[in-house]
Chains A and B, each alone.
Chain A
Amino acid sequence: MAVNAENLDQVAPGFGARVVDSVRRFFDGDVFYSFRRSPITIIAFVVTMVLFFASFLAPWIAPHNTNDVASLNLMDAELPPAWMEVYGVEGRADFLLGTDNQGRDVLSAIMFGMQISLLVGFASVLLALVFGTILGLISGYVGGRTDAIIMRIADVQLTFPAILIALMIDGIASAVIQGAHGAEVSFVVLILAIAASQWVNFARTVRGSTLVEKNKEYVQAAKVIGIHPIMIMVRHVLPNVTGPVLVIATLSLALAVLTEATLSFLGVGVPVTQPSLGTLIRIGNDFLFSGQWWMTIFPGAALVILVLAVNLLGDWLRDALNPKLR
């Protein structure tokens, strides 16, 4: 944001040159500098990337295809992790983190499960981002009664914990559509429920930034020369709120993954046929007392590592984009 101030009066170069230029500027810029300076952030970034790749490439790189029921063998069930021996059963090298009660490889199940968790997370954050940003822009730019109504709703919603809102929406919606209970439907409901619990954060931030930008001279000037309000919002106000929105989106992703896991753990989230991390933890939880802790603890650890890494990235991004802290 602050980095390109001196380039403003240059003649606009071609598209390719512009891309190269902005990439170069990114690596020279403050944000990348603060990234390089923070080892924790680098670790968090690497971990996040590894987890993203591991989960989205799961169909190709997972050691076993856990979605293929035919490949499961009950003889492989309840094996401990490869390096352990529990109740006289030795772990096997091809099931690194052990197997569950149906002979599913826990490691592969985690990779596929994290894919589901991340998909739900990304989808709901994207939805919340789009709706929250639009409502925030309108609220801040139009002001008056529109603003009052949107912000009152946001205030009221903020008094309830997000997890409760997601749970209630999900529970009620599943109750309403109980007849047509396809897997896709419950995914959509889940994503909508999580998004509905998160739009407020985006709307409030965008509104705040919009209020600030609205009174700046360049926006006033744009108004005077008769640019359409929607155009002003999109071209002039929106670019100035991308920073905070990016921060919130990152932190929201962590929160969305947690919310999804919690709902799935409670048994109201994703359908059992497509287990997410939360579902795996719930299924494994039943075997905790018989000493087969690996079915729960490994998916749980994967969830925590993912959420922690994304949270750390979000925290760093917030500090890096905040000019006050430089």
Chain B
Amino acid sequence: MFAFIVQRLFQAILVMLAVALVAFSLFQFVGDPINNMVGQDATEEQRDALRERLGLNDPVPIQFAKFVINTAQGEFGVSYRIGQSVDIILADRLPATLELVFVAAILALLFGVPMGVYSGLHRDSILSRLFQTISLIGISLPTFLIGILLILVFGVWLQALPTFGRRGLVDIGGWETGLLTIDGWRSLILPATTLALFQLTLIMRLIRAEMLEVLRTDYIKFARARGLKSRAINYGHALKNTLVPVITIMGLQIGSLLAFSIITETVFQWPGMGLLIIQAIQFVDIPVMSTYLVLIALFFVMINLLVDLLYFVVDPRLRGERGGAH
């Protein structure tokens, strides 16, 4: 197990370095950072001085090493578009995205798991056919269209909910949360539903498929033969054994929630990191782009590491045998 973790850690570091290299080359290939920082009427000497001060005359490998060290310390540079330090901008935007993703994940789990379990156990009932149909629509409807439809129905026609921005914020030790006020929840509900819907259908389909698979296995038949209560079989044996793939997918889904939050935030003008990156791409705001790249890679690598580790917790078969060999 130890060797396995070390191998995974090594791989994670490799991925992070590769992403850092991409982020770093962005600075190298796109535009001249000096031009972005000084005014038009700066003299050539001023430019040279700035270039020297920023270390842009150093050899490229040294610059890259500096970049990695700075990034690791949370120094990401200054945004070309906003003119503020990127870490301040991010700290400002992060709560919005995290709250959105968090609430969406809870929503998806809260509805997806029971729906999946139900339609796995009663595969031919009318309700599970309804769930299947909904899930097909949910998978075919792109996130931005779900958002637009929700805005049209609840914002424009019913005029029941706010459709853009984030309101009702309360500052708790630097963390601006919208979860403490009714206004905050009202503005959160549409974006969170939009973001959750796709994940919900995914989770539901996955659990359903896994349940069907597990219910066919021999140990379930034996459990029935032993005369166990069907509740004990369904939840004690079947559901438990669906957990390994479900944990993997959910781990990865949290990552994709973060990715899809880009779309949701654009639709609802939700002031989070996703909206920030879209604006950064449109304005070619390299420091923000490269920071986002590094951060999101870090996030994904960590999630994957966690998922790998969770396997050992959930699946006792892995603990004994599986050494380093993969």
Do A and B pair up? The answer is yes
Question: Which residues of A are in contact with B by a Cβ distance under 8 Å?
Answer: 152, 156, 159-161, 163-164, 167-168, 171-172, 174-176, 178, 254, 258, 261-262, 265-268, 281, 285, 288-289, 291, 293, 296-297, 300, 303-304, 307-308, 311
Q: Are B259 and A161 in contact (CB under 8 A)?
A: yes
Select which of B29, B136, B142, B266 is within 8 A of A258 by beta carbon: B142
Write the chain B residue with the least CB distance to A172.
Answer: B26
Q: Which of these binds chain A: B108-116, B148-156, B225-233?
A: B148-156
Q: Which of these binds chain A: B82-90, B187-195, B279-287, B311-319?
A: B279-287
B241-277 Cβ-contact flags toward A at 8 Å (1 or 0): 0000000000010011001101100110000000001
17 pairs, A vs B, C-beta closer than 8 Å:
A152-B11, A159-B255, A160-B259, A174-B281, A175-B30, A176-B30, A178-B31, A178-B284, A267-B278, A268-B278, A268-B281, A288-B151, A289-B155, A296-B152, A304-B142, A308-B140, A311-B140
Beyond known contacts A159-B255, A285-B148, A296-B148: 19 more, CB 8 A cutoff: A156-B15, A159-B303, A159-B304, A160-B255, A161-B260, A163-B263, A164-B259, A164-B296, A172-B26, A174-B284, A178-B31, A261-B144, A266-B262, A266-B266, A281-B144, A288-B156, A293-B152, A296-B152, A297-B149
Q: Is B100 an interface residue (CB 8 A)?
A: no
Give the docked Cα–Cα distance between A245 and B143 (Å): 27
Q: Are B259 and A261 in contact (CB under 8 A)?
A: no
B128-171 Cβ-contact flags toward A at 8 Å (1 or 0): 00000000110111111100110110011000000000000000
Give the docked Cα–Cα distance between A31 and B37 (Å): 63
Write the chain B residue with the least CB distance to A310.
Answer: B140
Write the chain A residue with the least CB distance to B139.
Answer: A311
Write the chain B residue with the least CB distance to A289.
Answer: B156
A175 proximity list for chain B (CB < 8 A): 26, 30, 281, 284, 286, 289
Min CB–CB distance A324 → chain B (angstroms): 13
Write the chain B residue with the least CB distance to A258.
Answer: B142
Q: Which of A163, A168, A174, A303 has the most CB of B within 10 A?
A: A168
A308 proximity list for chain B (CB < 8 A): 136-137, 140
A289 proximity list for chain B (CB < 8 A): 155-156
B152 proximity list for chain A (CB < 8 A): 288, 293, 296-297
Q: Which of A160, A258, A289, A304 has the most CB of B within 10 A?
A: A160
A297 proximity list for chain B (CB < 8 A): 148-149, 152
Min CB–CB distance B262 → chain A (angstroms): 7
Min CB–CB distance B144 → chain A (angstroms): 5
Q: Are B30 and A161 in contact (CB under 8 A)?
A: no
Q: Are A262 and B142 in contact (CB under 8 A)?
A: yes
B168-206 Cβ-contact flags toward A at 8 Å (1 or 0): 000000000000000000000000000000000000000
Q: Are B304 and A303 in contact (CB under 8 A)?
A: no
Q: Are B148 and A163 in contact (CB under 8 A)?
A: no
B293 proximity list for chain A (CB < 8 A): 168
Q: Are B30 and A178 in contact (CB under 8 A)?
A: yes
Give the docked Cα–Cα distance between A171 and B293 (Å): 11
Q: Is B6 an interface residue (CB 8 A)?
A: no
Task: Take A296-B148, A304-B141 as given contacts and tell me if A160 and B300 are in contact as well, using a CB distance cutoff of 8 Å.
Answer: yes
B286 proximity list for chain A (CB < 8 A): 175
Give the docked Cα–Cα distance between A262 and B262 (Å): 10
Give the docked Cα–Cα distance between A156 and B303 (Å): 12
Min CB–CB distance B206 → chain A (angstroms): 16
Q: Are A161 and B140 in contact (CB under 8 A)?
A: no
